[in-house]
Amino acid sequence: MSKVKTAFFCQNCGYESVKWVGQCPSCGQWNTFVEELVQKETKAKNDWKDFQDEKRIQKTIALHEVKTSEEKRLLTPDVELNRVLGGGIVPGSIVLIAGEPGIGKSTLFLQIGLSLENNTVLYISGEESDQQIKMRADRIKEMHRSKENFFLLTETSTQVIFQEIKKLKPQLVIVDSVQTLQSPFIDSSPGSVSQIRECTAELQRFAKETNTPVFLIGHITKDGSIAGPKILEHMVDTVLQFEGDRHYAYRILRTLKNRFGSTAELGIYEMTDGGMRAVTNPSEILITQKEDHLSGIGIAATIEGMRPLLIEVQALVTQSVYGTPQRTVSGFDLRRLQLLLAVLEKRGGFHFGMKDVFLNIAGGLKIEDPSIDLAVLCALLSSYEDVPLPQQICFAGEVGLSGEIRAVNRIEQRIAEAEKLGFEKIIVSKYNQALRQATAKQKFNIEIIPMGRVDEVYAFLF
């Protein structure tokens, strides 16, 4: 008999070692090494000859001989998912979706599977029974029409799953979740590093050889990173993060990695009784409709991926009671706020050193676009002076350390979005070259106010 091979794996990062060690050399975590069997038996590889029409013969080929053609994508009725994936589902792609428990991952992808009427969809669940999935499907409005080509399989063994796939020949496979799968070739518990790696490798081979797209739903650890080894994210083509607070109705689908499109895309959903509803115009939900004029609120024109958004920045400046003033932010970088406060102290003579400053991006968004600097600065000044900003004005500009307003990219899209939402004025940087070209090409019905310095903006607004 051949000797059974074992190895020790770090359960946090997937580092492999021949012997047990107390601290992982890769991630620095203590007592995370677990012994796992690496080789149990010789593998009976799955062969997909009967699945596809022609078997691809592998041979070396010169780059100029490769024929390029536009990849035909599978479009879903969900416009937000199509955008986040870069224009639809690519055949043969493998997509990993991760998020908090109870955020709606299974609901969203069950809904997408049900909405694809002309495609055979196989939904594999290792976490729920057939009855549980049927109850959820009845709740989703998509189920009201007859669904004959949507199939369920509650199974965790990859061997059984591939036998069923060979019989059914689906055009889309959804796996919920990859941490529950178990390969008979690896003798360790489901969810361990070697099991996740082996099961994902088998699914990846199936996806590439048969040109069938596969969606893998994954878990996350308590610190928010995707559970399993880091290699899991390298093996898949696209990584999507499903974010949001369970206490809010809105969810955000964000791209972390995409081999077929932009990684800066963002889709917004609303959780309703009938499943997930795609929010096609998020600017309207991110700006609160209010009748009173309140101080400390500024509207910023930002860009997430290819999509322009108008977001509300809320600031509160109060007299500090304790010796050390507080700086509290939500959805914005704390160091960036401290930098903007230093600019106001030095260039404007405003004494924020004795004030508590609180900043919030409305709607639960996390924004990294530097173009919201000007809106943050104006919201801070508005709260400092306790004077409301005019309601029909918005801002797009980055603030430099010397107090100048720097140019931002894709300015014409920001202006067009502000105009569409009924804003009358937008303050931008006067150093924007693209602005002159855009205004020369098309006539905007919104008043564009170019400014060069922070003190000019203060004099204009207050």
Residue 109 · residue 174 · CB < 8 Å: yes
Backbone φ and ψ for 298, nearest 5 degrees, come out as -130, 145
Nearest to 450 by CA among 423, 434, 421, 428: 428
Q: What is the C-alpha to C-alpha distance for residues 355 and 358, in angstroms, rounded to an integer? A: 10
H-type helices in 344-410, by residue range? 373-385
Predicted confidence (pLDDT) per residue in 302-359, tens digit? 988 778 889 999 999 999 888 889 999 998 999 999 999 999 999 888 888 889 999 9
Residue 329 · residue 337 · CB < 8 Å: yes
Q: Which CA distances in Å does 337 have to 130, 330, 340?
A: 50, 11, 5
Output DSSP code: residue 348. I
Please give the full DSSP string across 154-203, using - where no structure is assigned.
E--BHHHHHHHHHHH--SEEEEE-GGG-B-TTS-S-TTSHHHHHHHHHHH
Q: Annotated binding site for ATP: which residue ranges? A: 99-106
Higher pLDDT, 383 or 363: 383
Task: Give, to the nearest 10 degrees, the angle between helix 373-385 and helix 454-461.
Answer: 50
Nearest to 355 by CA among 337, 335, 367, 373: 337
Quote the pLDDT of residue 374. Answer: 95
Q: What is the C-alpha to C-alpha distance for residues 407 and 433, in angstroms, rounded to an integer? A: 8
Tokens 């594999």 belong to residue: 124
Residue 306 CA to its chain's centroid (Å): 14
H-type helices in 390-447, by residue range? 411-420, 433-441
Q: Annotated binding site: which residue ranges? A: 99-106
Amino acid at 87: G
Predicted confidence (pLDDT) per residue in 396-446, tens digit? 999 999 999 999 988 888 998 888 888 899 999 988 877 777 776 777 888
Predicted confidence (pLDDT) per residue in 213-258, tens digit? 999 999 888 877 888 788 888 999 999 998 877 667 788 888 889 9
